[in-house]
């Protein structure tokens, strides 16, 4: 029996509440629709006044409320359905008690929070997690975030961000998984599964929110909130698939994006939210606006006033209004005037209630107020954060200087503004992580080389040079340069402060800020080996710094345990295995630059004349007439998928089982992977394909599979992959998703720019 009647203590009425424990896996394409649950939702909605229904559609932030009494009165009157940014479990329980015992219908609140890459234990930023190419780590990290956040009463997070971004000027590239559709889809599914767990009604399950729907990462000029123009085919082939994957994985909520696309703000785009999300994909959770994006349709020029904005949003399929107050102030009058049907409101309320039921909030709304003491910074959480940081670091260059041998070093100089800053290594969108819980690189190196380490003791000289990444203190640089002259090796930690990436933190220039480049130049003049470690929230233009460095490690803000991870990599206790989830440009002027672009009719050949070699009075057509920049060519500094190791790998004997396939066949791929170096290591083997011809032009390469493969020194493994030909489907000229016939090339390699192709036909 799923339904019973409870006597309301305050008003003495019999009210229907759902109390059964409903078990929902987060993995089915569509949630199991229990008929009794849906009946219970119908009966509850039938008892609600219009004001109470609109209240469920209203989300407020505890950051923006002048006093507790206003919030409590609104909860009591049923005028709030969700609260975000409340993380005190005592306060959460108090609000839930008001909602259940003092409101007319006893509907629990849904507490939300931006838990983007950890709650207390902070993991690498999502761009760093993508660099691991390890969905297991991403899922387990999201599970840790859910365990910690739910212990504080948070049952809903606004993550994962699934925006494809090909422009590192956009600050929010830090929050996503990079430029590739397949990698973003895989990592997004892993994060959804981690947040929501295996039992949605368990107190540690936290509802995921796939955002931002859709195209936000293509904002013009890399400037936040800017317009996009993405035609339907591009949306369907590149930007929508990660969201579809998240919906199939059971993501309970979706958030609309700030941008307009082709003149239509996403919060008012019915084609996206209703036609595609609901009708095509069968999404049964609820859609929430981004912060105030309902009201912002007025600023866009899409709505004339708040009432029109509210009407457009709800009719588009936006169920909950985050911090616009447009629904709660305008919807009742819109219904009375017949401009919005109450049936539309009912649909939105049912979607919201369905998520609350699935989360078990009706039966278990309260949080154990002591639980957080056991979960925050648990040893196993810190261990996983360190493992994630280890695998997220990418070795971009190395002349053999790394790994450092402590036995050969008497004095080590550690310098740079990112060497000992526990706050800045946490990265963007960290509301609850704590600086004093971070272990910095300097602290980790000191511990590793200290008396208790068992190693030969190394004298560590710390001279920061610069106080923070934008600092221009020449005196500090000179002190570091002086210290470098007496050191045997130098590690320079540079990069970006957390505030320089994330929402509204866009840059037109991606060079290192302040005097950081001068710091590297100054210590390099000592003639000693220089290892540069860049800790940042996005790709930066670092050709000069790479040329100055004997070795270069790139760490997308690595989180709480970034220091120990970097120390282990620097001294060879661990071997780098991270790969770039985004292309690194040589110069900002190359942007957008990404690996999976279409070919032109005159593609770059690689042997074109560079700017400095153009003869005076050269003929107009003497430079080859291909698509490139005279001053920067067309190649990136580092390609997508790139990353070195302390060992080397060889791909040989790549073969397929046939040379001709039908559209519903499965291709069997085999190759030998050999560790040809002197140390054990893990290679991320990557599979790319290209359709040579199609009804529409296709990218020159597309990632469709990858696998992390550990190998001992000298070991060879024969790897077999089975790939359904259906995985090669794309949206064609007729706007249908299909596998087209023709010739296909495939590459199996360690990055997007390597490997020899193998060809086959699809008949």
- Report the catalytic residues: 290
Give the DSSP letter string of 443-505: HHHHHHTSGGGSSPP-EEEEE-SSSSTT---HHHHHHHHHHHTT-SEEEEEEE--GGGSSTT-
| Alpha carbon distance 499, 483 (integer Å) | 30
| Alpha carbon distance 325, 334 (integer Å) | 14
Pick from 583, 596, 581, 595: which is nearest to 699 by CA?
596
Parallel, antiparallel or unpaired: strands 758-762 and 110-113: unpaired
Phi, psi at 532, each rounded to 5° = -100, 130
* Sign, Cα dihedral of 110, 112, 117, 121: negative
- Give all strands (DSSP E) within 589-701, no chain letters: 649-656, 660-661, 666-675, 681-691
Q: Centre a 10 Å sphere on the Cβ of residue 392 and count the other Cβ atoms it contains.
A: 32
| Alpha carbon distance 587, 541 (integer Å) | 6
DSSP-derived secondary structure letter, 120: S
Pick from 62, 59, 64: which is nearest to 110 by CA?
59
Residue 234: burial class (beta carbons within 10 Å; 0-12, 13-18, 19+): middle
| Alpha carbon distance 397, 584 (integer Å) | 13
Pick from 531, 536, 455, 463: which is nearest to 499 by CA?
536
| Alpha carbon distance 497, 532 (integer Å) | 16
| Alpha carbon distance 126, 116 (integer Å) | 8
Tell how many helices (H) and how many strands (E) occur in the chain. Answer: 21, 28
The SS3 of residue 239 is helix
| Alpha carbon distance 512, 125 (integer Å) | 19
Under 8 Å between Cβ of 49 and 336: no
Under 8 Å between Cβ of 169 and 222: yes
| Alpha carbon distance 177, 181 (integer Å) | 9
| Alpha carbon distance 759, 745 (integer Å) | 4
DSSP-derived secondary structure letter, 395: E
Under 8 Å between Cβ of 125 and 176: no
The SS3 of residue 322 is strand
Peptide bond into 592 cis (omega under 30): yes
Tokens representing residue 331 in the block: 């919807």
| Alpha carbon distance 758, 756 (integer Å) | 7
């Amino acid at each position: 029996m799923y339904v019973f009647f409870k006597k309301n203590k305050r008003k003495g009425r019999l009210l229907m509440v759902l109390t059964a424990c409903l078990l929902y896996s987060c993995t089915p394409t569509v949630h199991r629709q229990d008929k009794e649950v849906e009946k219970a939702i119908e009966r509850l909605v039938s008892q609600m006044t219009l004001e109470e229904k609109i209240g469920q559609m209203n989300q407020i932030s505890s950051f923006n409320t002048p006093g507790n009494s206003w919030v409590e009165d609104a909860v009591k009157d049923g005028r709030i359905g969700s609260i975000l940014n409340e993380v005190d479990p005592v306060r959460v329980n108090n609000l839930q008690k008001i909602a259940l015992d003092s409101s007319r219908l006893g509907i629990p609140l849904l507490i939300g929070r931006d838990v983007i890459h950890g709650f207390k234990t902070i993991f690498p930023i999502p761009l760093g997690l993508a660099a691991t190419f390890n969905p297991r780590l991403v899922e387990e990290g999201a599970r840790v975030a859910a365990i910690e956040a739910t212990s504080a009463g948070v049952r809903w997070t606004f993550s994962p961000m699934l925006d494809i971004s090909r422009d590192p000027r956009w600050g929010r590239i830090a929050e996503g998984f990079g430029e590739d559709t397949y990698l973003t889809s895989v990592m997004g599914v892993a994060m959804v599964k981690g947040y929501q767990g295996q039992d949605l009604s368990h107190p540690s399950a936290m509802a995921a929110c796939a955002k931002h729907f859709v195209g936000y990462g293509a904002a013009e000029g890399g400037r936040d909130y800017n317009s996009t123009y993405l035609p339907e085919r591009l949306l369907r082939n590149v930007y929508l698939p990660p969201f579809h994957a998240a919906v199939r994985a059971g993501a309970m909520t979706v958030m609309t994006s700030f941008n307009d696309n082709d003149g239509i703000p996403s919060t008012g785009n019915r084609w996206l939210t209703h036609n595609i999300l609901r009708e095509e994909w069968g999404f049964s959770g609820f859609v929430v606006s981004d912060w105030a994006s309902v009201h912002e349709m007025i600023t866009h020029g899409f709505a004339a006033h708040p009432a029109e904005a509210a009407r457009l949003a709800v009719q588009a399929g936006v169920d909950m209004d985050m911090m616009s107050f447009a629904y709660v102030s305008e919807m009742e009058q819109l219904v009375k005037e017949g401009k919005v049907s109450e049936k539309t409101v009912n649909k939105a309320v049912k979607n919201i209630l369905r998520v609350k039921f699935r989360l078990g909030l009706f039966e278990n709304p309260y949080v154990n107020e002591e639980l957080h003491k056991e979960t925050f910074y648990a040893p196993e959480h810190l261990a996983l954060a360190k493992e994630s940081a280890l695998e997220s670091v990418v070795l971009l260059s190395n002349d053999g200087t790394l790994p450092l041998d402590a036995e050969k070093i008497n004095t080590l100089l550690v310098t740079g503004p990112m060497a000992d800053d526990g706050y800045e290594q946490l990265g963007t969108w960290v509301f609850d992580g704590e600086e004093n819980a971070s272990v910095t690189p300097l602290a980790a190196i000191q511990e590793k080389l200290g008396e208790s380490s068992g190693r030969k003791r190394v004298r560590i000289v710390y001279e920061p040079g610069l106080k923070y990444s934008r600092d221009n203190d020449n005196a500090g640089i000179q002190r570091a340069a002086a210290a470098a002259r007496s050191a045997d090796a130098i590690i320079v930690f540079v990069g970006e402060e957390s505030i320089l990436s994330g929402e509204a933190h866009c840059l037109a220039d991606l060079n290192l800020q302040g005097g950081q480049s001068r710091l590297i130049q100054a210590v390099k003049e000592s003639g000693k080996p220089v290892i540069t470690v860049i800790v940042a929230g996005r790709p930066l233009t670092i050709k000069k710094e790479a040329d100055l460095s004997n070795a270069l490690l790139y760490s997308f803000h690595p989180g709480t345990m970034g220091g120990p991870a970097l120390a282990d990599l620097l001294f060879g206790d661990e071997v780098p295995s991270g790969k770039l989830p985004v292309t690194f440009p040589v110069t900002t002027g190359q942007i957008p630059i990404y690996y999976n672009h279409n070919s032109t009719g005159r593609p770059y050949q690689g042997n074109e004349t560079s700017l400095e070699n153009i003869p005076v009075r050269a003929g107009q057509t003497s430079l080859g007439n291909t698509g490139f920049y005279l001053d920067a060519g067309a190649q990136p500094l580092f390609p997508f998928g790139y990353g070195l190791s302390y060992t080397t790998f060889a791909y040989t004997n790549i073969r397929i089982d046939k040379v001709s396939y039908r559209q519903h066949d499965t291709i069997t791929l085999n190759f030998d992977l050999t560790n040809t170096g002197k140390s054990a290591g893990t290679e991320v083997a990557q599979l790319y394909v290209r359709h040579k011809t199609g009804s529409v032009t296709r990218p020159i390469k597309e990632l469709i599979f990858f696998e992390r493969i550990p190998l001992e020194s000298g070991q060879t493994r024969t790897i077999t992959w089975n790939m359904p030909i259906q995985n090669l489907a794309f949206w064609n000229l007729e706007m249908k998703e299909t596998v087209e016939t023709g010739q296909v090339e495939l590459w199996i390699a360690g990055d997007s720019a390597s490997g020899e192709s193998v060809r086959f036909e699809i008949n």
